[in-house]
Amino acid sequence: MCLMKLQKSEIEEIKQCIEQHQIFAITTHANPDGDAVGSSLALSALLRSLGKQTCIIMPNDCPDFLKWLVGYDSILLFDKQPQKASEFFHKADVIFCLDYNDLERIEEMGAVINKTKKPLFLIDHHPCPICNATYMVSETSACSTAELVYRIIVDCGFESKITKEIAEALYTGIITDTGGLVHNSTNPEVYQIIAKLLSAGIDKDFIHEQIFNVFSFERLQLMGVVLKDNFVFFPEYNAAYMFITCKNQKDFNFQLGDSEGLVNLPLSVKNITFCALFTEYPNAVTKVSFRSKGSFPANVFAKEFFNGGGHLNAAGGRLPCSLQEAFAVFVKGLEAYKKMLVL
């Protein structure tokens, strides 16, 4: 795997950007995950330690299992406080875009940011950054945006500013985006970074406990029902899908983050190389998460059939249709991609 190294000129540009500006807005994608929140909090804390003013603005809230992170309380949610968020965007000198490659991923917030005409600074590991950014650190070989933030901090000479809180936020980003260092984590440098974060004083066991072992009893029951009743296997395509209906959500007191990890489970079945998890929303909207093994491009499939995108092996999208209609689109897609699925 290629190792990302910032060019000298890039480092100078980033340092100048930080030196010459005072107020930074830090944004990340809708339905923020551990990498989105972790990388944002780490960057914000670093900039504050340099005497800068920052505000993290997310389109909506993250799951409860990330709310223990230091600094979470000062994050502004665009869906709750659009006016305050908009005022900060207008006041900011630079707007950071973390962990997303397209303003569509931040929903209505994208139009507000566009209007400000402020310089954008993209830090991301998704393919095809189409964001019209003035500054850009875009590297698909990175396991997470947190890894990129770490590299920027170190390459710019701020390593001594990495506090325990910054290290915790970066570690959270790395372990959540790699599924606990299971996928996307073959690059030895990832472990060198983790060694540095451990040296900065993080309590790895505490972090794992906060992230992976804080769910409700109902959440496990919901998983049981989905695996038993809402799981469809297509041996002829080496693929499968699962689904969560609105009724399932009501029956099991569904909370944000409760479906975390579920989408990966079909890949543990021998021969399943591609799977989807459909989630039903009110007003005929269906969201879908995709996972694949090997070279099957979940992101290309998501883009072609579900207005989505993402990484090679982890992608997502949505359609304005019922669950049943979404299943039909998925099966049509499987047929179209049969040659790649059945090698």
Consecutive H or E run containing 206? helix 204-212
Judged by CB under 5 A, the residue of 30, 58, 62, 99 near Mn ion is 99
Q: Which of 318, 329, 331, 342 binds ligand 5GP (CB under 6 A)?
A: 318
Q: For ligand 5GP, which is the closer residue by CB, 49 or 264?
A: 264
317 interacts with ligand 5GP by CB under 6 A: yes
Q: What is the DSSP letter of 257?
A: T
Q: Restricting to residues 241-270, name those near ligand 5GP by CB under 6 A.
A: 263
**Which residue number has the CB closest to ligand 5GP?**
316
Which one among 63, 129, 308, 333 touches ligand 5GP, defined by CB under 6 A?
308
205 burial class (0-12, 13-18, 19+ CB within 10 angstroms)? Answer: exposed
Stretch that binds Mn ion, among 48-56, 127-135, 169-177, 183-191 (CB under 5 A): 169-177
At 245, the amino acid letter reads T
- How big is the site for ligand 5GP, counted in residues (CB under 6 A)? 13
Q: Between residue 143 and residue 162, which ones bind Mn ion under the rule CB under 5 A?
A: 144-145
Residue type, 183: H
Q: What are phi and psi of 56, to 5 degrees?
A: -90, 130
Near Mn ion in 238-277, by CB under 5 A: none
**Residue spans of beta strands (DSSP E) within the chain:** 23-28, 53-58, 76-77, 94-98, 120-124, 135-138, 231-234, 239-244, 274-281, 285-292, 309-310, 314-319
CB-closest chain residue to Mn ion? 35
CA distance 35 to 143: 10
> Out of ligand 5GP, Mn ion, none, which partner does residue 315 contact, by CB within 5 to 8 A per kind?
ligand 5GP
Q: Which of 262, 314, 323, 334 binds ligand 5GP (CB under 6 A)?
A: 314
Among residue numbers 102 through 131, which ones bind ligand 5GP (CB under 6 A)?
105, 126
> Which residues in 20-79 contact Mn ion (CB under 5 A)?
35
Task: Select 256 or 269, whichever has its Cβ closest to Mn ion.
Answer: 256
Amino acid letter, 122: L
> In this structure, is the dihedral angle defined by the CA atoms of residues 106, 56, 34 and 210, taken in order, positive or negative?
negative
Structure tokens at 205: 């066991």
CA distances from 34 to 12, 177, 207, 210, 258 (A): 29, 7, 11, 12, 14
Q: 281 to 300, contacts with ligand 5GP by CB under 6 A?
A: 289
Does 63 engage in binding with ligand 5GP (CB under 6 A)?
A: no
Q: Give the shortest CB-173-to-ligand 5GP separation in angstroms.
A: 12
CB-based contacts of 10, cutoff 8 Å, min separation 6: 137
- The residues of the shown chain that bind ligand 5GP, judged by CB under 6 A, are 105, 126, 263, 289, 308-311, 314-318
